[in-house]
Each structure stands twice: as structure tokens, then as C-alpha cells.
Amino acid sequence: MTVISPSILSANFSRLGEEVAAVKSAGAEYLHIDVMDGAFVPNISFGAPVYRCLRGLCDMVFDVHLMINEPIRYIDDFVAAGANIITVHYEAASNVRGTLEYIKSKGISASLAIKPKTSPLVLDEFADLCDMILIMTVEPGFGGQKLIPETVDNIKYASSLRERTKSKFLIEADGGITPENAKVVSAAGADVLVAGSSVFKAKDYKAAIDALR
Ligand code: DX5
Ligand code: ZN
């Protein structure tokens, strides 16, 4: 079944604990945590101290998406704050393999992301190391954008790579996912759907999550 990972970037930060409890009781399995540094992407969000406060409140899978340059510098902090999955960007790490290996050495899941215009062929080299591959379906940096249709081919590529290499990594699609395009994205091979605005801007979180599956 498709896993839903609501992105707290679109939540009401003044009531973050309640927002997380609400998406959990609405049936979301993962919590997507977008960390932005204002350098790799043109936006700043929040860091480990913010989601560390949520860790004691719920047992959801913390799916931490690092949009920061040279993420290896902060892996210890993000693990200590309670991450279960850490995603780093291919474009942001000078030593991608070393970064993924370092994440795995901490006993959590390692995931690699590519931006919409990055060739998915770069993923081949890391298929053996990835517990998850994140395909950006918008340019990283902001919630509330429209899915770029061409990125569905990148999901398809990751899916064919998984088959070809007999790998077990999950495929996560991130950006602009709505009830209207969720079917296409899932059919292309995505197992985990990130949903920021389509969940947190909805009146009824459960109806919004159900509509994505
Ligand atoms: C964009 C983030 C996404 C984003 C998703 O840089 O990685 O996770 O918050 O939000 P929506 O679903 O609104 O596109
Ligand atoms: Zn994200």
C-alpha cells in the first residue's frame, strides 16, 4: 500500500504538536521533515531542534529531507534528534557514497534525492546503498508548487533500476502531489507520497490522505 508522508513545511508552526497528532490519527505513516539551509535552496526552514521536540510526542517514521550543502556535517545532529530516514541530495554532497554510508552506519535508513533536471542515470551507482530514493517532482525549496510532468519519467527510471538490480529501496515522490496526480505517480513506481499543501491546507486531513491512496 502507498505510504503517505505529510510535509510539516505546510503545517501551522504555532501548533506543530497538534498538527502532527492530527495527521497521525488521520492515518499517515511517515512525517516528512524538510530542512532547508538558504544555500542549496533559496529558502530557510528549520533544523534538528524543532523536530527533536516532536520525537517524544509520536512514533511516526521521521522522514528527514535535507536540502543542505554537504549534509554529512550535520548527520550526527539529525540522527540524535530522532530521524529514522535521512535523505540527502546528489547535487549537494561532494562525497555521495561516503554520506550514505555514514547515515547507514548510524543504524537508520539512507536515501538519495535528485532534483527534476538531474539525470536519473546518476542513481545507478548508489542503488546498492539506498534504502530509499527520493524523486523531486518540483524544484526543491518551496511547498505549494505544481508537479513537473517530466519528473514522472524519473520515477519510472528508479523503478526500472530497482527491478534491474533486484534492489529493495523504496521510491518517494516529493512535490506537488495531489489526489489528481497521485495515481499516475504511484503507477510510475512511487511507494511513498509526500504531501504538504494537499494535506495541511485541507479542512479534513483524513479525507485528504484517503484521497491520495
Ligand atoms: C519542497 C519540499 C517538499 C514540499 C512538499 O522543497 O521538499 O517536501 O514541502 O510540499 P507540497 O506537497 O505542497 O508540494
Ligand atoms: Zn521534501
Number of H helices, E strands in the chain: 8, 8
174 has catalytic annotation: yes
Q: Which of 36, 87, 142, 205 to mutate to test the pocket of ligand 1 (most atoms within 8 A of CB)?
A: 142
Instruction: From the CA of 176, give the closest atom in ligand 1.
Output: 14
* Secondary structure of 84-115 as H, E, C letters: CEEEEEHHHCCCHHHHHHHHHHCCCEEEEEEC
Helix, strand, coil abundance in the chain, percent, nearest 5: 40, 20, 35
| CB-side neighbour CA atoms (13 Å) of 153 | 9
Cell numbers at 61, concatenated = 517514521
φ, ψ (nearest 5 deg) of residue 67: -105, 65
Q: Which residue has the cell 529514522?
A: 84
**Positions of the chain with pLDDT under 70:** none
Please give the pLDDT value at position 1.
Answer: 87
**Which ligand is located closest to the Cα atom of residue 36?**
1
Rounded Cα gap, residues 40 and 126, in angstroms: 21
Q: Which one is catalytic: 34, 37, 63, 131?
A: 34
Rounded Cα gap, residues 114 and 132, in angstroms: 12
Please give the pLDDT value at position 172.
Answer: 99
Q: Which of 4, 9, 132 to mutate to test the pocket of ligand 1 (most atoms within 8 A of CB)?
A: 9
Sign of CA dihedral 28, 31, 36, 41: negative
What global pTM score does this model have? 0.98
CB of 5 closer than 8 Å to CB of 63: yes
* Residues 45, 49, 55: CA angle, nearest 5 degrees: 110
What lines the ligand 1 site, CB under 6 Å? 7, 9-10, 32, 34, 65, 138, 140-141, 143-145, 174-177, 194-198
